[in-house]
Amino acid sequence: MDTERSAVINIGGVDYELVLTTRATKEIAGRYGGLESLGDKLMKSENFEMAIDEIVWLISLLANQSILIYNLKHKDKPKDLLTTEEVELLTVPSDLAEYKTAITEALYKGTKRNIESETDPKNAVVE
């Protein structure tokens, strides 16, 4: 596991690596309008059920990225993808706070290199 690029969570006794890939970023953008909107959506969820649905969807999406990468490299012995139903059945609500932290960590690790290397002259401080 590449802990520099990911965060690890345990679901049902199995460790899953959460990775923000370009593919996952596209799916998040399609659902939320971008990574920036994701935090707002999670914090401002109208109700608890919706917040749970969003966290479960994100866990499945990010955990499946590492499985898809594995399957790409090991075509002869692919692993099954994690479904949202499995996440719901193998977790308890108290797990979700820990998972939110791991989601945030995975998103940060997936974007930090881009953020650190970007310099935009339009945003320069004018004195």
Say how far apart CA 124 and CA 83 lie, in whole Å: 44
Determine, yes or no, domain membership for 104. yes
Q: State which H helix or E strand residue 15 sits in.
A: strand 14-19
What total of structural domains would you count in the chain? 1
CB 15 within 8 A of CB 6: no
Determine, yes or no, domain membership for 1. no
Give pLDDT, residue 117.
Answer: 41
Give pLDDT, residue 103.
Answer: 87
Determine, yes or no, domain membership for 31. yes
DSSP letter for 121, please.
G
pLDDT tens-digit profile, the chain (127 residues): 556 788 999 999 999 999 999 999 999 999 888 777 776 666 665 666 778 888 899 999 999 999 999 999 999 999 999 999 999 999 998 888 788 888 888 888 888 754 444 445 555 555 5
Give pLDDT, residue 3.
Answer: 61
Tally of CA atoms within 13 A in the half-sphere of 124 that contains its CB? 6
Beta-ladder partners of 14: 11
- What type of residue sits at position 26? K
Range of the domain at 47: 6-123
Determine, yes or no, domain membership for 86. yes
